[in-house]
Copies of this chain bind each other. A is one copy, B any other.
Amino acid sequence: MLVQLLYASRAAADTTPATVSVILQQARLRNPPEGITGVLCHGDRYFLQLLEGGREQVNRLFSRIQRDSRHTDVVLLHYAEITERRYAAWTMGQTNLDRLNPATLLRYSALPVFDPFQLPGSSSMALVDELIASASVLGRA
């Protein structure tokens, strides 16, 4: 059983670009043997991560991620059992949420600042899809 999970969280106060690098390294090391793929969108204030993989594997990872003190207020935005992954080729893509094109952001958001806690899950999902489609995500396997 394959699932797709999208969540948002608030970056801890002391999160720096270096923190993000470490997380991405961990993800690219640990996800392949678990068959987990996805995209990590990060910024000064928020994380937004899409995970795809086996139901058991994704839940185990999500459980670890929820306890990680590098972020807080983890909130689920989307979760579904799927028959096909959409992002099978991304070990863990990445993109910077603070460099979004303003029109892209306004398409889904009332104000020109990104805040996943104010948006319906489907809008954050659409944003991730648009970022990938527009080649704003790095790190395709």
| Copies of this protein in the complex | 10
CA A79 to CA B3, docked complex, whole Å: 11
When distances are taken between beta carbons in the complex, the residues of chain B under 8 Å from A53 are 110
Within 8 Å of chain B (Cβ to Cβ): is A75? yes
Do A54 and B108 have beta carbons less than 8 Å apart? Answer: no
- Chain A interface residue count, CB cutoff 8 Å, equals 47
Contact residue among B34, B106, B117, B123 (Cβ-Cβ distance under 8 Å from A88): B106
Within 8 Å of chain B (Cβ to Cβ): is A24? no
Please give the residue numbers on chain A whose beta carbons come within 8 Å of chain B beta carbons, in ascending order: 1-3, 5, 32, 34-35, 37, 53-57, 59, 62-63, 66-67, 74-76, 78-81, 83-85, 88-89, 102-104, 106-112, 117, 120-123, 126, 141
